[in-house]
Structure 1
């Protein structure tokens, strides 16, 4: 199977299962117009995040890596009326675009975009969170996982995106991103407070995958 075939299947799944969505389409258009990299999650992946957060009954969500707010909007749609979402973004321009997109989608009152290096912002946050989505610089994934665990409630769900890196996670060979993901896996494997699995994916974003983590309600 080729990248073209993976993309066509993604398009079929999205066209069949997801209705046209002006707010999300505008978010992508504004991100492109603003010069943001096209590294947002695919539409079917965004809806997966929304469904996972809904299944978790999330009222407080943390997102590490806002980019243009596309995945943020998907996650915000999982919140109840009194729910809150905090999203962290390193690049000020990206955060500005994200705020506009989030406001146009109707979530300005529920979503807070914090600007700065996530590794500096995370210690200032007050938990607990019910759901955490990690999708930022992969070299820092070990630290992001450790902070997510600290800030999450027992039973919370953590999702780490881009967790296969086109297979480079098997043998990073000096690739800082793949090395970061691999170190995260080592931390998870040794962590008694977490249980996890990882799934490879192919699609419009190529060959990658995600790690799905559940914070245990008690130590084993």
Structure 2
């Protein structure tokens, strides 16, 4: 059953990505015009703003995979943050919407991870630090073919070396026994366990 759920989730995400790919990135002028229409009371303008920025949410959500929530859930939470950002954005201040929205998208995703992914609640700032450390470790590993020292991570992230050590020691990735362990999604950890 898990394999069919995994495949169904993948197909749902593929279909979603296909649907949102038809929305082009807005020009600054088009974005400004839609926000002005929304402020004037045209609710459909808000929907257009959101639709044209959904691909950005996916790119942000992918950064938080493997932290306890499925990609589809991360995208859903990011979309809620995008909507909140669109409702609160002040186009008269001269900033790009996406620069404003990224904070709301990340906050929604991190809040969901904090609330839904663990049996033990980990503070959001600690999860943010851990996520940043894991991302920077992967980047460093790809560039230098070795793991970074805590001091090197500290330089890149701005997190104190002592805090890096604590964060990495405390980080334990929770793995579901039903999680697929191969690229086809056919085998899970529970399948490999011996029957007693």
TM-score by length of 1: 0.26
| Higher-helix-fraction structure | 2
| Higher-strand-fraction structure | 1
Considering only CA atoms, is the larger Rg found in Structure 1 or Structure 2?
2
TM-score by length of 2: 0.28
